[in-house]
Amino acid sequence: MKDNVLFIPNLQCNQKKNLGDGMGRRFFINNFNSIPEANSRKEAKMSNRGLSQKKTFLVITLSLLIGIGTIFAEGSRYLIITHDDFYSAIQPLKEWKHKKGITTKVVSVPSGITPAAIRDTIRKYQPEYVLLVGDTSRLPVGQTSPCISDNYYADTIGDYKAELAVGRFSCRTADECKTMVSKTLGYERNPFISDTLWYKKGTVAVRFDNEADTLGYYVSDMRFATTCMRDYAGFVVDSLFYRADSGWHNQGPDSARHIVNAINNGRSFLLFRGFGASDSQYHNWKKPMNVKPESTNNGFKLPIIFGGCCQTVFTPGDSGVGEAWLRVGTDTNPKGAVAYIGNPIHALAARIRTHMICGFFKSVFVYDSLTLGRAFLFGKDSLYRAALDSVTRYVEWNLLGDPELNLWTAVPQPLLVTHESIIPTGSQTFIVTVKEQNGQPLSNALVCVMMPNDSSVYEYGYTDEFGTIPLQINPKDSGWLYVTVTARNHIPYEDSCLVEPIGPDATGPNQGRHLARAPNSTELEWTFYANRSIFWQWMKEPTARLLTYIGKGKYPSIAKNKEGSAWISYTAGDSLNCFIRDNGGTWKKVNVALADSIGAPSLVLSVYPDQTGPLGYVVYMAKTDELGQCIHFSAFDSLGVYYHTVLDNGDVYEPAISITPKDLLHIVWRKDNRIYYITTIDGITPGYIREGGQPRWSEKVPISTRPPQRPTEP
């Protein structure tokens, strides 16, 4: 018995919502482009799956309302069911999906498992996406009637309609599995941007078998897909034809070579429309378009291929060309395709299959579906609405590839992401801000933070209209907090934040940068960062005293001289500041530098006895539009800056400074994975600098023989 349906018009949605009903059904609302008004409640239910809208409607089953409190009751948004042979090989994909905020569970199963047991596992975890890992001899297809298909696993209710996005890696060996994982990660996580033209190219190939095809469904589908790619995404789309007895544009029967050349040149999407037929190797596209996937040489320029013909997946003898498109290549030298959509049977069904094909391309390019699985489901929904009585035509379509694959419909753009680079342990709000390359806030970016050594620290969500999301975390131990951001048509952002315990005796990770002792005394002074603020503390006896709040900022560095004056440099937004404490306990703030962004400073005070008073010497990384990223040096006191110079530029970071008698300065920093060193040739005095004198610097020299370990900000 079907559920009753509620129709709620004009629901305003600012964040993605995920609603589930305990039977595995999922309904999604998100900020997105609007879609046409549905003509009926049934159409609304089908149209809304996998889409998101700024002003939209919501269809919810009554049982859904009862089960709202148990969303993801058993576990994960993404369920990977793998044959035991491929458990290790699939782990990199699982780790990536989980890291980016798609909670992922891997379940390993032995040979001989039944389709019913697989579907019971799916129902237990109630995912949005399911990936089956193994060919049909290891993980059986869900059903053989009315045709061979994995649709059984996507149909959690039993009415033949798919509620879940299900894909398959039809691998026979661990190496084939590694190849498919590598292709998927190379497509989604590390997009190939040495050549970006291929992201805006598509190909439609049509093989005619009779005169009626010329103006029939094949050409109609070709034109529809071309319009979607060209008019909605600015693609350049080429069309390849072969008509029986007429040749390939009068060039002869060499169609397969033209398709291979197009793929090697780079294509984001490829649609084949026509007949399928067996050749000597595969159940393939009909000659002369029977492409051999192993003949391609496209590297990581991997297309999504739609086989709009008969019998190219799950075929007798495991000979479908659909499987071959994903199997060819290696994990280090890929080729072929990243995903393939096709069917396993022969039928005169062009009239009905057109709805699946057009629905898929409409979902990707008109409605901007983010994932391959959502577009696949939308295509099936389009077919269902157009042919309610055609169960076979609905069930026959299968997806080979990652159903959660994030699709590219534009050249990938970098993200501008800001967040803290070092935080204390304990409960806190971690704020991430995401912007477009032009500085505009980016909403609906998926942000995930996690600690690999603490599974309790795992939070994800979507940015608001200001491009910001606050995430509540409670790290208990030191370590790295991974920050991952993904968004449609943007290169994934991956970075980390250092988590360090903050206590009254904290000194931070950088040897003495935060701790100072007055010469010939037992007095200790230190500075530390907590809750986005800088603190100073002084101690003479075992009991600490004089805890003082300095101000908002980060990356504190403290220095003292023999007169006992404490100086604390730190960054605050776009400025480098220093607080100077005199012997009477009064603090004075000095602005040392301004820049677009400033890294952690390293500070020392002059040791040369000079009646004009001490100078502070500070090095820091700063980035400006005019100079780019540079290592800067400044000499200053409470009255201002007397001397400034740029020591190096490029990929430079993490400078540190030390001082030896006669005010000889020694500075190191990182550049291009090496450590560089520079020193002053002669000693300097504060009076000399105040009078306008300038230090004489040595040549910078590399002093490391191998790349240093991962850099850490203090």
Least confident of 59-68, 69-78, 413-422, 523-532: 59-68
ω into 146 cis (within 30 of 0): yes
> What percentage of residues in the chain have a pLDDT greater than 70?
81
Least confident of 139-143, 211-215, 435-439: 211-215
Q: Give 595's pLDDT tier (boundaries 50, 70, 90).
A: very high
CATH superfamily of 416-500: Immunoglobulins (2.60.40.10)
Q: Amino acid identity, residue 118?
A: I
401 has pLDDT over 80: yes
Residues 6+ positions from 541 with CB-CB distance below 8 Å: none
Q: Write out pLDDT tens, residues 382-399.
A: 999 887 678 999 999 999
312 has pLDDT over 70: yes
- Torsional sign, CA 579, 582, 583, 587: negative
- Measured between alpha carbons, how far is 596 from 25 in angstroms, rounded to an integer? 48
- Measured between alpha carbons, how far is 248 from 241 in angstroms, rounded to an integer? 6
Cα separations (Å) of 139 from 153, 392, 492, 637? 12, 22, 32, 72
Helices 372-386 & 41-48, crossing angle to 10 degrees? 160
38 has pLDDT over 60: no
540 has pLDDT over 90: no
Please count the other Cβ atoms lying within 10 Å of the Cβ belonging to residue 9: 10
Of the two residues 578 and 560, the one the predictor is more confident about is 578
Exposure b/e, 478-487, CB count within 10 A at least 16 = b? ebbbbbbbbb
Decide if 416-500 and 515-702 have a common fold: no
**Joined tokens for residue 322:** 């659909």
Q: Write out pLDDT tens, residues 225-237.
A: 999 999 999 999 9
Least confident of 161-175, 189-203, 543-557: 543-557
Predicted pLDDT at 212: 54
Architecture of domain 172-400: 3-Layer(aba) Sandwich (3.40)
Predicted pLDDT at 551: 85
Predicted pLDDT at 196: 96
Pairing of strands 566-572, 575-581: antiparallel
- Work out the mean pLDDT of the chain and round it to a whole number: 83
Least confident of 238-247, 279-288, 347-356, 602-611: 238-247
* Contact yes or no for 17/26 (Cβ under 8 A): no
Angle at 386 between CA 161 and CA 342, to 5 degrees: 60
Kindly report the length of the chain.
714
CATH 2.120.10.10 fits 515-702, yes or no: yes
Q: Write out pLDDT tens, residues 596-655.
A: 999 999 999 887 776 678 899 999 999 999 999 999 999 999 999 999 999 999 999 899
From 509, 526, 522, select the one nearest 714 (Cα to Cα): 509
The torsion angle over the Cα atoms of residues 104, 406, 321 and 171, rounded to 10 degrees, is -20
**Rg of the Cα atoms in the chain:** 31
Predicted pLDDT at 191: 97
DSSP 39-54: SSHHHHHHHHTT---S
DSSP label at residue 371: B
Least confident of 268-282, 508-522, 659-673: 508-522
41 has pLDDT over 50: no
3-state secondary structure of 327: helix
121-146: average pLDDT: 94
407-428: average pLDDT: 93
Predicted pLDDT at 502: 60
> What percentage of residues in the chain have a pLDDT greater than 90?
57
- Measured between alpha carbons, how far is 257 from 262 in angstroms, rounded to an integer? 9
